[in-house]
Amino acid sequence: MRIYATSDGEEPFTEWELGLKDRMARARIRACIGRLRLGNFGDSKRVGEVFELRVHVGPGYRVYYGREGTDVGILLCGGDKGSQSRDIERAEA
């Protein structure tokens, strides 16, 4: 599992995760990502060109990831149900 970095070195997923004020939600998101690394995709589905992992805590957090070769995933960005459409567009870009 890798974290996507832009050509400027920014990591949209890391920036989003560090911006979460709810520490319990952050811990749940990390636990879901840990299971994803082990091949347990949980509540995950394809949305357009990327995959969406739904985390059932808080406002309905989403983690967007891609797959490349044998890599389980590349963490692209995160968001919640309210910003879902915008986040999917961002992850696909």
The tens digit of pLDDT for each residue in 32-78 reads: 999 998 888 889 999 998 999 999 998 999 999 998 877 667 888 99
Which pTM value belongs to this model?
Answer: 0.88
| pLDDT, average across residues 28-32 | 95
Structural domain boundaries, residue 20 = 2-92
Domain holding 38: CATH number?
3.30.2310
Residue 3 predicted with pLDDT over 90: yes
Q: What whole-number distance in Å separates Cα of residue 44 and Cα of residue 11?
A: 22
How many domains does one find in the chain?
1
d(CA 51, CA 58): 20
